[in-house]
Amino acid sequence: MIRDAVDAHPAFEGYDIEVYVKGSYANKTNVRADSDVDVAVQCNEALYSDEAKPGTKPAGTPYNGIWTPTRLRSELKEALEAKFDSQVDDSGSTAFRINSSSARVDADVVPCFDYRYYLSSGEIRDGAKVFKKDGTSLVNYSRQQLENGEAKDCRTGDDYKSAVRIMKRVENLMVENGVHRVVPSFFVECLVYNCLDDLFRRSTWTSAIKGIIYHIWSNLEGTEPTDVTERWLEVSECKYLFQSTQDWTRKDGRDFAHAAWNYLELGK
């Protein structure tokens, strides 16, 4: 339905506007309580880029076409409102929220641009550049997240994604019962991703979840390692999980693990 809205919008006609699902819904790590779908509407007319060191990216002419972050957001809002009458919420800092009165699930629609990062090695990392209303921006690596999640699920006999869904359900139940604060779904997924593959292959789920929770709690003690090889990564493996720009800390991860251990009574 969102793709139909974009295709029907006259201002987008003739331009390279890509619509795709990302996040937990695409990665099959969503749970019923967090069943909304994240949809990216990406403008590939403009390419944003960064480089690890000066001179890494090739020289080129800066984009000076019509597709600015403000223009993309404005046109996307018009397109969505034409399709989803009175259902589009534009109050968020980044995404358009589409309520589900006439759709199957709620949706967060994120306007973004094509993005490329040039590493020192000469390799290229493709992603999406997202601009917030206040002019600040962030970069997502949805394709890498999908590929790495699939690979880990394969290595663990299809148990990685199941474990993520279990831990997300535990988080929802703890919040519902007032025993712990809300923990972002993506953060939970990243915490589980950083657990050793062998932990997912234990003979029972009780043993596996016990090992996963303990691994999170014990490995997040103390400050962030100075050795970059010891730092935890997001599922995409393109960003460090803990850094100043994130909405969570190592302590948040430990607190979540401690609360989950007690809630599931794993110490008995």
Residue given tokens 């006999």 in the structure block:
157
In this structure, how many other beta carbons lie within 10 angstroms of the beta carbon of residue 130? 20
Return the pLDDT at 102: 52
Instruction: Sketch the domain layout of the chain as residue ranges.
Output: 2-140, 145-263
Is the CB of residue 198 less than 8 Å from the CB of residue 65?
Answer: no
Q: Which residues contact 119 (CB under 8 A, 6 or more apart)?
A: 52, 56, 125
DSSP-assigned letters across all residues of 101-162:
TSSSS-EEEEEEEEEEEE-TTS-EEEEEEEE-TTS-EEEE-HHHHHHHHHHHHHHTTT-HHH
Look at residues 188, 199, 212 and name the one whose alpha carbon lies nearest to residue 157.
199
Among 3.30.460, 3.40.50, 3.30.60, 3.40.630, name the CATH number for the domain at 2-140. 3.30.460
Q: What is the DSSP letter of 267?
A: T
Lowest-pLDDT range, 49-63, 75-89, 117-131? 49-63
Residue 233 DSSP one-character state:
B
How confident is the model over 92-148, as pLDDT tens digits? 999 999 987 654 678 999 999 999 999 999 899 999 999 999 999 999 999 999 999
Distances (CA, A) of 114 to 1, 62, 155, 210: 22, 14, 31, 40
Q: Are 239 and 248 in contact (CB under 8 A)?
A: no
32 pLDDT band (50/70/90 cuts)? confident
- Give 57's DSSP letter: S
What's residue 162's pLDDT? 97
What 3-state class would DSSP assign to 91? coil
Spatial distance between the Cα atoms of 263 and 258, rounded to a whole number of angstroms: 9
Output the pLDDT for position 101.
Answer: 67
Chain segment 216-242, per-residue pLDDT in tens = 999 999 999 999 999 999 999 999 999
* Residue range 159-212, pLDDT digits in tens: 999 999 999 999 999 999 999 999 999 999 999 999 999 999 999 999 999 999
What kind and span of H or E run contains 13? none
Residue from 241, 240, 239 nearest 253 by CA: 241
Q: Both tokens of residue 71? A: 């223009």
Instruction: Give the number of other Cβ atoms within 10 Å of residue 16's Cβ.
Output: 12
Query: Which pair of tokens denotes residue 231?
Result: 């730092």
CA distances from 175 to 75, 76, 182 (A): 37, 34, 6
Does the structure show a pLDDT above 80 at 25?
no
Question: At which residue do the structure tokens 């969570």 appear?
Answer: 248
Cβ-based neighbour number of residue 232 at 10 Å: 19
